[in-house]
């Protein structure tokens, strides 16, 4: 079974890549839910957060710190932003390769959808 994000990471599918490290790729979401909507994608394929284990602890931490840095670059730090992992279909996950959503540029509401 093919994985959309693995194909983006490998360069098979083009994306609006705005930042990249050896472990993480940051792209703009093609269906943004906010004025700023970035996806932080690990280059390692992990289907869901439920599949992550202790070996992935540093990677997950780097994803969050990278999101913080991207929020600063996108000038969202002061006004605020939201970070979201969707897990499985009931949690809204559509692509089964973990990814962290960074949303900002508008007032976020609670509870979310």
Identify the pLDDT of residue 112. 82
What backbone phi and psi angles, to 5 degrees, belong to 5?
-70, -30
Which CATH number is 98's domain given?
3.30.428.10
Residue 68 lies in a domain: yes
Residue 111 lies in a domain: no
Helix (H, G, I), strand (E, B) or coil at 99: coil
Residue 21 lies in a domain: yes
Residue 112 lies in a domain: no
Identify the pLDDT of residue 78. 95
Digit-by-digit pLDDT tens for the chain (113 residues) are 689 999 999 999 999 999 999 999 999 999 999 999 999 999 999 999 999 999 999 999 999 999 999 999 999 999 999 999 999 999 999 999 999 999 999 999 998 86
Domain that holds residue 67: 4-104
Tell me which of 37, 45, 97, 99 is the catalytic residue: 99
Active site residue 99: yes
Residue 82 lies in a domain: yes
Q: How many domains does the chain have?
A: 1
- Which residue spans within the chain are E strands per DSSP? 17-20, 24-28, 36-42, 81-84, 100-104
């Amino acid at each position: 079974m093919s994985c959309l994000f693995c194909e983006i990471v490998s360069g098979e599918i083009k994306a609006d890549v705005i930042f990249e490290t050896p472990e993480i790729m940051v792209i703009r979401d093609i269906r943004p839910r906010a004025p700023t909507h970035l996806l932080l994608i690990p280059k390692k394929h992990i289907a869901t957060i439920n599949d992550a284990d202790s070996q992935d602890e540093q990677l997950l931490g780097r994803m969050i710190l990278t999101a913080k840095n991207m929020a600063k670059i996108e000038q969202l730090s002061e006004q605020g932003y939201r970070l979201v992992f969707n897990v499985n279909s009931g949690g809204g996950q559509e692509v089964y390769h973990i990814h962290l959503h960074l949303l900002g540029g508008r007032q976020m509401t609670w509870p979310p959808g």
